Amino acid sequence: MKILGVLCSIAVLLLTGIRCTSDNEKEYYGGLDCDTLQVSYSQVIDPILDRNCNACHFTGSNGTGVSLENYADVKKVVDNGRLLGAIKHEPGFAPMPQGGDLDDCSISKIEAWVNKGAPND
Ligand code: HEC
């Protein structure tokens, strides 16, 4: 019985150890892989919005009332706080993209760009 107890403790330690490692590795890998320093509007942000959002959010898309097609329009949604609220699925905002998720790296890039003042670069 004693041996069984010891074996059980070892098994529990191993299992929790393995879980912690894989969680950390995922975050570490995501951090390494994701460049949040080079985040210019024209090179990085606009293409992300084009790919994921502009099918619904083009100029004059009266269904959404939000255009993300050009810098001036995107800046409006940055300044009223709705862009980050929507893509980070924060309470009080319509979660975007509608019916899906933006990948973590794209969210980090948009957030980094907003935090440096959302320049038209
Ligand atoms: C399939 C269509 C569709 C796609 C794709 C989509 N949206 Fe939307 N979006 C909508 C609709 C419809 C609304 C307005 C409905 C609502 O408020 O629930 C909206 C509202 C918004 C709002 C206003 C949210 C608020 O709470 O005021 C923002 C900001 C927004 N979208 C950003 C985005 C971004 C950024 C993407 C891409 C990552 C995206 N959307 C992708 C359809 C879409």
Is any atom of ligand 1 closer than 6 Å to the C-beta of 41? Answer: no
Mutation pick for ligand 1 pocket among 64, 80, 101 (CB with most ligand atoms within 8 Å): 64
Q: What is the pLDDT of residues 84-109, one digit of tens each?
A: 999 999 999 999 999 999 999 999 99
Q: Using a cut of 0.85, tell me whether the model's pTM lies above it.
A: no
- CA 3 to centroid of ligand 1, rounded, Å: 59
Q: How confident is the model at residue 2 (pLDDT cuts 50, 70, 90)?
A: low
Over the range 35-55, which residues count as b (16 or more CB within 10 Å of their CB) and which as e? Answer: ebeebebeebbbebbeebbee
Is any atom of ligand 1 closer than 6 Å to the C-beta of 66? Answer: yes
Q: What is the pLDDT of residues 53-68, one digit of tens each?
A: 999 999 887 789 999 9
Q: What is the dihedral of CA 44, 46, 50, 52, to 10 degrees?
A: 60
CB 55 within 8 A of CB 64: no
Give the closest residue (by CA) to ligand 1 atom 26.
93
Over the range 90-120, which residues count as b (16 or more CB within 10 Å of their CB) and which as e? Answer: eeeeebbbeeeebeeebbbbbbbbbeeebee
